[in-house]
Structure 1
C-alpha cells in the first residue's frame, strides 16, 4: 500500500471518513498510516471536520479520578446516572503518581497536566499524544489555580492559559499562554488574583471565570496579540446570597451558545435556576 503513490492529501481525506475502530487497526498497515493517524495534527483536524459533516459527534464530559485515571461521561444518555454511560479512557503512558488534571478540550483535542507541572496534548480517539514544553514555572510548591483552553479558527491555533501561585499571599503569581502554532509558551502580565480560580469557560474565543468575591465575570480574549493582555469584566445578575441564603453558582455555556449561570441552594439541590445571557 505504501507503493500506491497516492498524494498525502487524498490519503488523509479517505482516512478521515473512517470510524475510529478502523483507524486504530490501520495504524498497523504501514509506517506511513501509523504516522498520519497517530502523529499528524492535520489529520486530526480533517477527522473532526468529517465527523461534523456526518453529524456523528457526541458530547461527553471529561473528568479525572484518583487512580489517576481519566473518564468520560455521555451527556446524551437517557439516564444520567447510568454507569454504562461512563467510559474509562486509557492514557498513552503511565502518569506519575498524583493528579491528572484536564485543562480543557477543543475539537476533540484534550490538554492535560500531570501533577500540575507536566503539560500534554492528547487525542483520545486516535491516541495521538505529545508532551508540551515546560512553561517555566520554577517553584515546585506552586499550584495551578487558573487554567483554560481555546481555539482560534482564523489562525488554526490552540491556546492554553495557565496561572500558578504558591500558598501564601506574598507568593508571586506566574502566568503563561501556550500556542500550538508557535509550539511554545509566552509569559503573561495579567492580574490573575485569588478571587478567580479553576477552569475557564470558553465562548467566542475568550475564557470566562466567575469572580464570586467581586460579584463579576472576567473574560480573557485569546485572540489578543499585544504584550499587555487585559481582563474584560461584566456584571452577572443580582441574585447573590438572596435573602441571606447561601448559593453555589457555576458559569457555563448554554446549548444555544450563550454564556450562562446556574445556581442552587447549598442546603438543597432539588432545583436549579439558570440565567442565560442573550447573544
Structure 2
C-alpha cells in the first residue's frame, strides 16, 4: 500500500484508556502534552485512582535539611532495589510568604513519614508542622495546626493517613500517650496519664480532637511508628493493659497483651483485628504487609533465634492467620516485613535492626535459596522508611497548597547516590 495514501490508525477510546492505565506515571505525565483529550483523561481524578491498582511498590526514606533554605529529600527505589533516585524539594519560598511558618525547623529537627496513601506521603516536620506531599506530581500542602493542638506532645506517638471512600476524603490521624511519675489529681492511687487523639479532615482543612478515656482506648503505645496500610485503612500494633498504672508499681508489672487496632475512617472509631489466641498472650510482634495482606513478625521465643511471619489471608477472619515463613539469625533484633519483591512471592523485603549495631538495614531475603541481599544501610535511627506507589493523585487547591516552581525547585538524579545506599 502506498504510504502517501495510508490512513491514520484510529483507536477506540476504551483501548486508549486501557493502554494508558498500564503505563508508568512518568510516561503519563509526558503524554498529557499529546492532545487535549489525553490531558483531560489523565488529569481526571477517577483515572488517577484507577491507575493505582497493581502498580510497582517503591520504598522511600525521607531526610530533612534545616537552616535558611530548608529542604526535604526523598531517597527511593523500587522494592527490588532498581530505579533508584533522589527527589529534593526546597521550601524557602513557602516560608518567606507565610508568616505562620516563619520559623522553619532547624538543623537538629527531624522529619518523619507518618503514613502513605494513594501515593501521598503524610509527613511531620520537626515537632509541629505537617505536610502532604506527592513526590511524583510535585504537589504539596501544609496542614494548619488546630489552636487546641499542643506543640509539646510527650510520650509515644502513632500516626497514619487514610482515604475514606464513602466521602472521598483523606484523613490524617495522630495519637499520643504520656504516663507521668506523679499521681492523678482524680485518684491518688493512679498515675497521671494523658491520651490525645487528633483527626485531620482534608476537605475541612482542620484538626478535631477525639476524646478518648481509658475505657474507650484501653491501650498503651509500645513504640512510635507510622501506620501499616491494608485496604486503605491505617493499622498499628499496640498493647492492651489489664489494669491502670498505679503509684509504687513497676509499669512492667502490669500485665499486657499485644493487639492490632485500626482506625475506621467513616465512623472515626478505633477497632481491633483479632489475632490467634496463642498470640494474644504477651507475644511481641511487628506489623507489615505482604501481597496486600496484613502480616505480623513474631519475636523469637526464649532460647530461639527464629522470627515467624504469619499472614492474615482473609482480612478480619481470625481463622485465616497462616504461618508463611521463618527467618533465623542470631544477629537480628527486630524484623518488619515491607513487601514481596517478585510475583512468585519468593523474595521479601524486610526492615532489619541488628543486635549490637546502630541503625537499620533494608534486606531482601530469598526464601527459596535461603540467601539475603542488603539494599540499604542507615545509621540514622530518626529517619523513617515507608512503601508507596507512584501516583497521579492530585491535592485539591487551597490556601496552603503549593506546586514546585522556579522558586521551589525539584531535583531528580540517579547519580551521586548517598554513601548509605549499597
Structures share fold, TM-score greater than 0.5: yes
User: Within the alignment, does 1:259 sit opposite 2:294 as a pair?
Assistant: yes
- Does structure 1 residue 232 correspond to structure 2 residue 275? no
1:217 to 230, 255, 260: 260
| Pairing partner for 2:230 from 203, 207, 220 | 203
Deviation at residue 253 of structure 1 after TM alignment: 2.4
CA radius of gyration, larger in: 2
Deviations 1:61-86 (A, max 9, x none): 222347564322321x2xx5xxx654
Structure 1: any 5+ residue segments left out of the alignment? 1-12, 28-35
Look up the match of 1:31. Answer: none
The residue that corresponds to 1:49 in the other structure is: 49
Q: Structure 1 residues 63, 248: CA separation in 2 closer, same or farther (over 3 Å shift)?
A: farther
For CA contacts below 8 A with separation 6 or more, give which structure has more relative contact order: 2
The residue aligned with 2:141 is 130
Residues 179-232 of structure 1: per-residue CA shift (max 9 Å, x gap): 11222211112327533542222223543222254222223211105xxx3443
Question: How far is the alpha carbon of 1:92 from its aligned partner?
Answer: 4.5
Partners in 1 of 2:32 and 2:57 — Cα distance? 26
Pairing 1:1-279 to 2, within 5 Å after superposition: 19-20=25-26, 23=29, 43=43, 45-46=45-46, 48-49=48-49, 51-52=51-52, 57-65=55-63, 69-75=73-79, 77=80, 80=81, 85-93=83-91, 96-97=105-106, 98-135=109-146, 136-140=148-152, 142=154, 145-165=157-177, 168=180, 170=192, 172-190=194-212, 191=217, 193-197=219-223, 198-212=225-239, 213-224=256-267, 229-232=269-272, 234-236=274-276, 238=278, 249-255=285-291, 257-265=292-300, 272-279=307-314
**Contact 1:215/1:236 (CA < 8 Å) preserved in 2?**
no
Q: How far apart, in 2, do the equivalents of 1:251 and 1:205 lie?
A: 15
Work out the CA distance in 1 between the residues paired with 2:56 and 2:304.
27
Structure 1 111/230 Cα, relative in aligned 2: closer, same or farther at 3 Å?
closer
Count of residue pairs the alignment pairs up = 238
Deviation (angstroms), 1:269: 11
Q: Residues 152-196 of structure 1, C-alpha deviation per residue, up to 9 Å, x if partnerless?
A: 122211111002355735352221111112222111123275335
Residue segments in structure 2 that go unaligned for 5+ positions in a row: 1-16, 34-38, 66-71, 93-103, 182-191, 240-255, 315-422
- Alignment deviations for residues 41-61 of structure 1 (CA, whole Å, 9 cap, x no partner): x948356336347x6x32012
CA distance in 1, matches of 2:194, 2:274: 26
Q: Distance in 2 between matches of 1:92 and 1:267?
A: 49
Q: Deviations over 1:236-273 (max 9, x none)?
A: 4525899xxxx862112220x33211235499998542
Q: Secondary structure at the match of 1:130?
A: strand
Higher strand share: 2
SS at 1:172 equivalent: strand
Distance in 2 of aligned mates of 1:118 and 1:146: 16
Q: CA–CA distance in 2 between the matches of 1:261 and 1:171?
A: 29
For 1:48 and 1:267, the matched residues in 2 are separated by: 48
Q: Aligned-pair RMSD on alpha carbons?
A: 4.0
